[in-house]
Structure 1
Amino acid sequence: MSEAGKANKARSGGRSGGRAARRTLRTTRDFRMLPGLTRNIPYCEVMDEAHVERLDNASMNILENVGVHFRDPIALEDWKTAGAKVVGERVFLDRGLVRELIRTIPAEFTYHARNPANNVRLGGPHSIFVPMTGAPFLRDLDNVRRNPMLEDLATFHKLAHMLPALHSTAHHIVEPYDHPISQRHLRITYSSMMHSDKMFMGMTTSPKNAEDVMEMCAILFGEDYLEDHPVTTGNCNGNSPLVWDETMLGAMRAFCRRNQPVLCSPFVLGGANTPASVPAAVAQLNAEALSALAYTQVIRKGCPAIYGHYLSTVSMRSGAPMAGTPEIGLMNFMIGQMARHYGVPWRTSGSLGGAKTFDAQAGYESASTLSAVIHAGANYIWHAAGWNEAGMHCSIAKFVVDAVQCAMAHRLGEGPKWDDFDQALSAVPDVGPGGHYLGHPHTQENFQSAFFMPELFDNNSIEQWVADGEKEITERALNHARNLLSEYQQPMLDVARDEALRDYIARREREIPAASELNQSY
């Protein structure tokens, strides 16, 4: 009998047992966040020790002989004080100095959420899933592509709060167009703080904006608390090849001085701003990341920092960025090895898609990328939900399905569970040849946890699917999102802290001109 035939026989032969099992399913949803993933599967490592050393040496040669532009007078003075060779804006970094500095970055640390039950460990075997950010458009609950507003951002923050596999609300998942650019960071940060009690990200769109985020964190958690408790994450993108600019470096200083971690993220478009070669692209990226990681320790020795990157390859036919390609997977494997070589946590992107709608292309690209980064051992898995159209829009439908994929990746990363092996094995003689396990006491006790059952995937018969209205994944996902939002309950926020946050926002909005683009450096 074919595998399909056996599956159908098992389904029909055990239907009464299946119905009995389904009747015991909980009728209320459990919105509790999954603990951070502690991986228990091997790393996929595509380089031997000689290749790691070769790549490290190539990166160090770039730092020593080509140099990195730090387009920021404060950073240049900092590097001179630290003993680096500085010629104009170009900093030449001795490998001994780089190694000495990155050695002080913590290999692991704990993020502290507003709700301590949502604290998560990062680094080593510990990983978290973080939604996408930065989309200038969304696909809404009616699957319409349009400009987002602050209310739409709140919708995503509420969903992130309720989806167990997401460990953060990120920050500007979508851009709120109904607020001036120069003031958005305040409302975005408050939305993250108010609509969820999970960990969140902080805006780094300018040094002053980053300082505002730090002040709001100090209001929420307490000034002294920030000194030894990471509560948020900043992202600082490099301008590949080999440039760090004043905006990102100023924001980096704002976070590091308060002992808050930043992602040191070269922005890689493979073949466009890196060599058209996987190993050479990683060598350049590695040099860029190391230069920024080292600078975090010049700012404040011992502050947490994360080896970051944004990875894409460029279509040589159109010039457009691509997602889910084999080379992106290979680069993630290699970057994971390099980060472990240096003993620092690392960030990657989890569910990238280039499709214009939530279609098969989006699913294939995202699943391919997420699978690779899980096996690569990534710690901070950003853009893990919602990303489509090369980041141009965040899809509500894809957001909730990606969260299911993250839950599946979480389960995969945990590895096999052996705690009830003997008990489960004892069912074999009870059932014997030709029987089924659906009615066995062990199955009845463990069916909800033994095998992952993705809520949004349809595994019914074709007849049942037709009877249920022939709903495809996008419709099911949007219905699920509506149901989630109808059950949302805002986590309680201390009244005094909430009032202080609102007062701070009101004051800063009076102080910051609302002339949008002209004030991005404010």
Structure 2
Amino acid sequence: MNAQAPQTRTRSRAGGRSARRSLRSARDFTMLPGLTNVLPRCEVMDGAQVERIDAASMDILENVGVVFRDPIALEDWRRAGAKIDGETVYLDRGLVRELIKTIPSDFTYHARNPANNLRLGGRNAVFVPMTGAPYLRDLDDVRRNPTLDDLAMFHKLSQMSPALHSTAHHIVEPYDHPISQRHLRITYSSMKHSDKMFMGMTTSPKNAEDVMDMCAILFGAEFMEEHPVTTGNINGNSPLVWDETMLGALRAFCRRNQPVLCSPFVLGGANTPASVPATVAQLNAEALSALAYTQVVRKGAPAIYGHYLSTVSMKSGAPMAGTPEISLMNFMIGQMARYYDVPWRTSNTLGGAKTFDAQAGYESATTLSSVMHAGANYIWHSAGWNEAGMHCSVAKFIVDVEQCAMAYRMAEGPKWGDFDEALKAVPDVGPGGHYLGHPHTQDNFQTAYFMPELFDNNSIEQWMADGSKEITARALEQARALLADYEEPKLDEARNEELLEYIARREREIPAAEALNQDH
């Protein structure tokens, strides 16, 4: 399958030039299968250095400890045999190793459309769009507060983007809906506008329970006992703190056998040491403590080694994206996750620029390249992220998707299926000829080489004749065209009614003014 976004269908030469012109305009929005990344992994540590990070992390867990600000978690750890002093949990390395051994090294996500099921772990990877933006840059490239309709727009674009394997959850914050009730409408939007995998809100333990209830309506409670259908994100408070909100949400997901991302939130140099290896050692200890706790809650529950990485400008204190140290940390964390044989999550195509400019492109490309060579499994924030996550840009979302499709194609490795047939063209053409009119070229011109739709490779004269459009304008035109072609993958009517009834009941029960923390 051609990893182009949107894809073009492969056909024979029959019908000549007009048929090929028609073919180029046809679009196929079928999701690409989960990526099997065959690229050699970039490993910047030797075996002794991996063990050195592991030993340093275990020393932190045993001697510094991790704060679990949650009485239920403290009691769980006490029963598991950990040493407790106040809210600080001291974890013996033997206990940690025994617990994380029961985390599945890979598992399958089940989507509403079974054709969109996905394997995760090992060399299997998925692309997931960004979440959590309090602003968007819209179809007119105007920065403003988002609405529920804007969120639906991004879920529709995710559905129509073959290289995206998920709709995530709150890609943008819907400000036109009460904050205490948003998780219901956000979850429903993912379920309604797409039949791909989605994420579940973890903004409070009760919100997480609501998401689990809605998933049970959509998939069936018994089905969820054996099949992962969504993902929760559990952010740590670095350094070395897990709070009651996140731990309660973790339990809600793990008890229902649904995977969570155990994600320390790294601001390198601010909440970690000003050293790449020492930062990784602290992050590793934080991630291991949460991963181990998932197995205290439910042995064998799927869990994902997570993190969010940024470094901090020592000039302004602002988080930075695309720096060399972030790439190095991705390589190192990939090695540590493989050392423990657990799937791992990273962040992708991150940008700190305020508009979709060259800075945004360079930062995103640097991150994407390192993520692919690090061998990440759950590749989050893969489309739209800019301004350090403060806004989701429609234009950048569209271009990021195409970049993910290009990365997908690269990570598949060389395709050898037509090697012998292609070689037969060499004597046919001979010295000094060209291959443009050869039958093999005519049959394979669409799939042999990736042809980006959003990058302009024409002459400057042709570019000017086409309106001198820069990439932001081209991407916004593409977004409008995609939305015009969107077809909703209809929910089963009975399940849809049950979901709406559940939302209506919970909205009556939840005070509209109730303030809740937000996911990262």
Q: TM-score, normalised by structure 1?
A: 0.95
Q: Deviations over 1:88-146 (max 9, x none)?
A: 00000000000000000000000000000111110000000000000000000000000
SS of aligned partner of 1:306: strand
Distance 1:445 1:50 in 2: 51
State, as a whole percentage, how many aligned pairs show the same letter. 82
Q: Is there any run of 5+ residues in structure 2 with no aligned partner, and where?
A: 1-15
Partner residue of 2:430? 432
Partner of 2:281: 283
Instruction: Report deviation, 1:20.
Output: 8.0
One-letter code of the match for 1:385?
A: A
> How far did residue 319 of structure 1 move?
0.4
Distance 1:519-1:440 versus aligned 2 partners, 3 A rule: closer
Question: How far apart in 1 are the matches of 2:283 and 2:151?
Answer: 32
The answer on whether the counterparts of 1:182 and 1:519 sit within 8 Å (CA) in structure 2 is no
Q: Equivalent residue of 1:25, what SS?
A: helix
How far apart in 1 are the matches of 2:514 and 2:63?
40
Distance between the aligned counterparts of 1:519 and 1:37, measured in 2? 33
Compared with structure 1, are the counterparts of its residues 520 and 170 closer, same or farther at alpha carbon in structure 2 (3 Å cutoff)?
closer
Contact 1:513 1:519 in 2 (8 A): no
8 Å contact kept, 2:203–2:517: no
How far the C-alpha of 1:22 sits from its partner, in A, is 5.7
State the match for 1:6 in structure 2.
none
Inter-partner Cα distance in structure 2 for 1:473 and 1:395: 13
One of 170, 188, 202 as aligned partner of 2:186: 188
Give the superposition deviation at 1:291. Answer: 0.3
What's the offset of the Cα at 1:25?
Answer: 3.3
* Secondary structure of residue in 2 paired with 1:235: strand
**Residues 149-298 of structure 1: matches in 2 within 5 Å?**
149-298=147-296
CA–CA separation in structure 1 for the residues paired with 2:378 and 2:267: 20
Structure 2 counterpart of 1:208, one-letter code: K
Greater alpha carbon shift after TM alignment, 239-248 vs 452-461: 452-461
Alpha-carbon distance between aligned partners in 2 of 1:312 and 1:20, rounded to the nearest angstrom: 50
Query: How far apart in 2 are the matches of 1:19 and 1:241?
Result: 62
The verdict on how the C-alpha distance between 1:26 and 1:235 changes in structure 2, with shifts beyond 3 A counting, is same
Residue equivalent to 2:304? 306
- Kindly state the Cα deviation for residue 518 of structure 1 after the two structures are TM-superposed: 6.5
In structure 2, the residue matched to 1:393 is: 391
* Counterpart amino acid of residue 488 in structure 1: Y
Distance (whole Å) between structure 2 residues aligned to residue 345 and residue 309 of structure 1: 12
Deviation at 1:418, TM superposition (A): 1.1
Q: In 2, are the aligned partners of 1:121 and 1:127 still within 8 Å (CA)? A: yes
2:204–2:517 Cα contact (<8 Å) kept? no
The 2-side partners of 1:19 and 1:89 are apart by 72
* Ranges in structure 1 where 5+ consecutive residues have no aligned partner: 1-17
Match 1:126 to one of 124, 127, 134:
124
SS of corresponding position for 1:138: strand
Give structure 1 regions of 4+ aligned residues with deviation exceeding 4 angstroms: 18-22, 518-521
Q: Deviations over 1:441-475 (max 9, x none)?
A: 11111111111111111111111101100000000
- Which of the residues 26, 46, 53 maps onto 2:24? 26
Q: Distance in 2 between matches of 1:518 and 1:260?
A: 22
8 Å Cα contact 1:182/1:520 also seen in 2: no
Structure 2 contact 204–516 (Cα < 8 Å) conserved = no
Does structure 2 conserve the Cα–Cα contact (< 8 Å) formed by 1:33 and 1:166?
yes
Instruction: State TM-score, norm by structure 2.
Output: 0.96
Tell me by how many angstroms 1:492 deviates: 1.4
Deviations 1:16-53 (A, max 9, x none): xx978963633321000001100111101000000000
Letter in 2 for 1:269: L
8 A contact 1:101–1:297 mirrored in 2: yes
Q: Equivalent residue of 2:180, what SS?
A: helix
CA displacement at 1:426 relative to structure 2: 1.4
Give secondary structure in 1 for the equivalent of 2:367: helix
Is the Cα contact below 8 Å between 1:76 and 1:91 reproduced in 2?
yes
CA distance in 2, matches of 1:40, 1:519: 39
Residue 363 of structure 2 corresponds to residue 368 of structure 1? no
Counterpart-to-counterpart distance in 1, 2:440 and 2:323: 42
Alignment RMSD, CA only? 1.4
Could you tell me which residue of structure 2 aligns to residue 55 of structure 1?
A: 53
Q: Secondary structure at the match of 1:471?
A: coil
Q: How does 1:341-352 map to 2 (within 5 A)?
A: 341-352=339-350
Deviation of the 1:423 alpha carbon: 1.0
